[in-house]
Amino acid sequence: MTKIQRTTTINAPIEIVFNNSRNIDIHQYSASKTNEKAIAGITSGLINKGETVTWKGKHFGIYMQHESIISEMDFPNYFVDEQVKGHFKSFKHEHIFQRKENQTLMTDILEYETPFGFIGKLMDKIILKNHLKNFIIYRNSILKELSENHQHQPPQNRNTF
């Protein structure tokens, strides 16, 4: 099992950061480098506890699908998305939000297990863990920018950042 933990400080109210983090449109915008699109389940707007979304994106030159469910939610402090179907043996992403004066501390805890035994573990060490870490860092930079500007939808023009 691999674990990635990342905390990002955002100068915005916790409610804005929480909602932007579960906004399908913002996720698609932040994942545009992998051409990630919501193709089934909740495909736009805010996703809630018990709802699913199926993502299709291009990773490592291959289009892959990943269906996840919001298995837990405590507005505006915490939510969890977990893989229902996909290429991982297991995949759980915890999103934790804490108020700190006029800021929000957003912590991502991603735990996953690769399939294919030794080969999967080797690929994780060589490329996958770093890929996922960079994916989260970039996504969080977009969430920070939008939240600090009190935006609740992605910009229409990709060149605004």
pLDDT tens for residues 24-82?
Answer: 999 999 998 889 999 999 999 999 999 999 999 998 888 999 999 999 999 999 999 99
Q: How confident is the model at residue 160 (pLDDT cuts 50, 70, 90)?
A: very low
Q: Is the pLDDT of residue 156 over 80?
A: no
pLDDT, residue 161, reads 40
Q: Which residues of 122-161 are buried (b: 16+ CB within 10 A; e: fewer)?
A: eebeeebbeebeebbeebbebbbbbbeeeeeebeeeeeee
Indicate if the pLDDT at residue 159 is higher than 70: no
Q: Is 147's pLDDT higher than 60?
A: yes
Query: What is the percent of the chain where pLDDT is above 70?
Result: 96
Query: Whole-number mean pLDDT of the chain?
Result: 94
Please tell me the predicted confidence (pLDDT) of residue 157.
52
As a whole number of angstroms, the distance between CA 19 and CA 7 comes to 17
- Res 108 pLDDT > 70: yes
CA pair distance 133, 3, nearest whole angstrom: 10
The number of beta carbons lying within 10 Å of the beta carbon of residue 77 is: 13
